Amino acid sequence: MPPSVPSLPRRVARTLRTSLFAQVLCALVLGIVVGKLWPDTATALQPLGDGFTRLIKTVISPLVFCVVVVGIAKAGDLKAFGRIGVKALIWFEVASTAALVIGLVAANLVGPGKGMNVDPSSLDAAAVNETTGGGHLPSTTEFVLNALPQSFIGAFADNELLQVLILACLVGAALLHLGHTKVPKILPAIEQAQEIIFAVVGFVMRLAPLAVFGAMAHLVGNYGLGVMTKYAKLIVLCYVAAALFIALLAVALRVVTGLSLWKFLRYIREEMLLALGTASTESVMPRVMQKLRRAGARDDAVGLVLPTGYSFNLDGASLYLSIGTLFIAQAVGVDLTLGQQVTVVLVLMLTSKGMAGIPGSAFLALAATASSLGAIPAGAVALLLGVDRIMDSMRVVTNLLGNCVAVFAVSRWEGALDIERAKKTLDGEETDPPQGGDGDGDGGDARAVEPTTAATPAPGIPAQKPKEPAPEAG
């Protein structure tokens, strides 16, 4: 007899039970429906998304610390780690500048704000201050000083990733200097802590559908769908420009590594959908780190490039800022010269680097740009208040893909990428999963991942011999 085929309801139920992607997708649709039908109730559901993001943020700093320390210690070459950092910064600057230029060209060609004839005095500038909490973007000096930790514990408590990275580099360098004989238990302890953190991530990820439902219901209930018609031209332009930039990322990834961005996007589809639903790339950082390592990128490259990109490589934000600046100027009837637009690029190259983690940072950067030009009223930034949240999806997708491509490109540049393993993983072929999580997106327990390339023992840290198998019982 031929094997019985499960009925459609059973297949659907099994998919919903085992696939995180299906669960998050259903939660996304359900959140939109609830937000549309019961907006008053939906606006009270925001704590579901916020609570999930807070849980994930609690493990990001210790995870980054463990990955970087283990990566440096096992790679055994601090100079290589320094080269990775320099190459990452070069890549970040080129990518974010390209995003700014694409945004300016697109806004000039389409003119999303032309014909609006907005009177700046009619805009509520106080609403911008309320959104930003009266904050300000740090100066270059402040940004550099803020990257230096004041205390070991404080860096973790405040979730300052750049400070955690610096501490991790110092600890990793110290492990290399002291060697295995002086501190034999430290590296294994950090590796074990890493396993625990990935297990915690696996537990928290089970709440992802609930978080997406709450965040999406709040978005639709609070802002409605009508705002899309009012700003349709601007919204479409931003998303089309983002699609063009992502296409360029795909070409760059293919040229540099030979990998397919589409296959990678399919590989991280659960994380991408979760980031879209919660409007936060931080909510998926641990899982993305895990999957990048599974796809052949070395520990030290993943641990340094991805977290640093969250501060230095905000490609989606760069696109939005350049388009938003010209939109505001066009809406209030200001015609910016070529020289002023070049100034926009230069100012945004600086201001976009200090945006991460600051409330209302996009508005602060736009206000700083408007002030530097002297031709656009700073209060005109209020024009974007109604549409800013709709742009989160564009910014999240572009930022996340930009940083992931940076990890692959810099890893390949430094010789820290296992190309064969990457191709097999992205093709869906079964490879030996690294210890600590198969990255299959089913929401199961996630544990620590061993380096995906042959690690060279650190100087003074001999390779560990495999344990003898235990005698069979009986």
The tens digit of pLDDT for each residue in 443-469 reads: 333 333 333 333 444 444 444 444 444
Sign of CA dihedral 120, 126, 132, 135: positive
Q: What is the pTM of this model?
A: 0.74
Q: Can you state the percent helix, strand and coil of the chain, rounding each to 5?
A: 75, 0, 25
Structure tokens at 346: 């230069």
What pLDDT digit, counting tens, does each position of 266-324 carry? 999 888 888 887 777 878 888 899 899 999 998 888 988 888 887 777 888 888 888 98
In 59-140, beta strands by DSSP E: none
Range of weakest confidence among 140-149, 271-280, 357-366, 394-403? 357-366
Q: How far apart are CA 411 and CA 293, in angstroms?
A: 11
pLDDT of residue 263: 93
pLDDT of residue 395: 86
* N residues, the chain: 474
pLDDT of residue 242: 92
What pLDDT digit, counting tens, does each position of 187-204 carry? 889 889 988 988 888 888
Q: Is the pLDDT of residue 411 over 70?
A: yes
What pLDDT digit, counting tens, does each position of 97-128 carry? 899 899 999 999 988 878 777 766 665 555 55
What pLDDT digit, counting tens, does each position of 228-251 carry? 566 788 888 999 999 999 999 999
Average pLDDT, integer, range 66-75: 82
Sign of CA dihedral 260, 266, 105, 351: negative
User: What is the average pLDDT score of the chain?
Assistant: 77
Q: How far apart are CA 311 and CA 316, in angstroms?
A: 12
Q: Is the pLDDT of residue 4 over 70?
A: no
pLDDT bin (cut points 50, 70, 90) of residue 362 is: low
Q: Give the C-alpha distances (Å, rounded to integers) separating 276 from 213, 215, 295.
A: 11, 10, 22
